Amino acid sequence: MASGETAAYTDLDMVREGLPGTPYGEGVKIIKPPMASPVRSSEGMLVCNPNDSTEWGIFVNEDASPERRRFTIAHELGHFVLHRAKRRTFNCDKAAVHLSLESAGLIEREADDFASNLLMPGDVLRERITSQDIDLHLLSGLAKSFGVSFEALCIRFIKYTDKRAILLHWDNGFLKYEWRSRSAVLSNARIRRLSDPVEPLRDTVAADPSIAQEWTGIEMSAAVWCVGEQPSIKLQEFKHSYGVRDRVLTLLLLESDPPRSWDRSWQDEEVSDSFDQLGSRGNLSQ
Ligand SMILES: [Zn+2]
């Protein structure tokens, strides 16, 4: 491992052991090393010893991959730092811990943000994704150097990239989750939804069962995937399939949107003036 990559890796044992000695761990003597969770449905738990409030412990789903266990522990450390004054027990399921969904409760999103920041520091990530062409080889390598799952890294990438990017998670052929980058939201980039639940669109890599992995990306017109994109706008489609349960990730990277003409912005009722200005500004920086 190159020294630059080692520097990206956060030592969670050191963080856990060190916290009680800092202002973030005031009044606490120890956070015990993670143990296997006794609750099947639980991805992770943070609990206070009912007989001794200076002792806290973390439980983690032992069936999860090492990367996921690591993220879960960081998430529980987030509850410890941010929320332990409010509660003595935190019981977190898989969706709460790993997916950073807008629909999750506020404290779950806060704990997720804490975990993401701890494991994938924003300045390190930004430095590594701005200087290079993005493909799944790069993102997979970054996930390894941070010690996080590929999906966690992709979700983090979506939050940090200034490109127009859409990440889709398919489960048994149907769309289960979707994340869009800020500039994708501001430029109103969104996929065409022809069915409910949503299935991959024709002529896409996602719909082609003969392609399990497409890590370097295939270029096509953005209009193949998205509503309202001009035919000249290109996108790159990437695909990663997991071995089990037909789980697939699709990453779409769209070219920046050209400034919309006045005519068009008047016709498009979904584009407000402020969105239009922000979209054009994003475009100028490309
Ligand atoms: Zn939680």
Please report the sign of the dihedral spanned by the C-alpha atoms of residue 254, residue 257, residue 258, residue 261: positive
Q: What is the pLDDT of residue 286?
A: 34
Decide if 214 contacts 205 (C-beta within 8 A): yes
Ligand 1 centroid, distance to 151 Cα (angstroms): 18
Q: Is the pLDDT of residue 16 over 80?
A: yes
Name the band, by pLDDT with cuts 50, 70 and 90, for residue 94.
confident
Name the band, by pLDDT with cuts 50, 70 and 90, for residue 245.
low
Q: Give per-residue pLDDT as tens, 97-106.
A: 878 777 778 9
The C-alpha atoms of residue 227 and residue 80 are separated, in whole angstroms, by 43
Q: Which of 66, 27, 62, 32 is nearest to 47 (CA)?
A: 32
Q: Is the pLDDT of residue 262 over 90?
A: no
**What are the Cα distances from residue 165, in Å, to 2, 180, 190, 252?**
29, 6, 10, 6
Q: Is the pLDDT of residue 96 over 50?
A: yes
Q: What angle do CA 281, 142, 2 make, to 5 degrees?
A: 125
Ligand 1 centroid, distance to 19 Cα (angstroms): 18
Q: What is the pLDDT of residue 197?
A: 93
Neighbours of 235 (CB within 10 A): 23
Ligand 1 centroid, distance to 11 Cα (angstroms): 20
Compute the average pLDDT of residues 11-28. 96
Q: Is the pLDDT of residue 2 over 60?
A: no
Ligand 1 centroid, distance to 268 Cα (angstroms): 40
- Locate all alpha helices (DSSP H) within the chain, ordered by sequence: 3-8, 12-18, 66-83, 94-98, 106-119, 122-130, 136-146, 150-160, 182-186, 262-267, 273-284
The residue among 116 and 258 whose pLDDT is bigger is 116
Q: Which of 79, 77, 44, 49 is nearest to 63 (CA)?
A: 44
Compute the average pLDDT of residues 62-68. 94
What predicted TM-score, i.e. pTM, was given to this entire model? 0.83
Q: Is the pLDDT of residue 227 over 80?
A: yes
Name the band, by pLDDT with cuts 50, 70 and 90, for residue 271.
very low
Q: Is the pLDDT of residue 22 over 50?
A: yes
Ligand 1 centroid, distance to 114 Cα (angstroms): 11
Largest CA distance in the chain: 69
Class of domain 3-119: mainly alpha
Residues within 5 A (CB) of ion ligand 1: 92, 96, 108, 111
Alpha carbon of residue 86 to chain centroid = 27
* Among 93-102, 135-144, 265-274, the least confident range: 265-274
Domain ranges of the chain: 3-119, 161-284
Q: Is the pLDDT of residue 31 over 90?
A: yes
Ligand 1 centroid, distance to 185 Cα (angstroms): 27
Name the band, by pLDDT with cuts 50, 70 and 90, for residue 260.
low
Compute the average pLDDT of residues 87-107. 85
Percent of the chain with pLDDT over 70: 87
Q: What is the pLDDT of residue 258?
A: 67
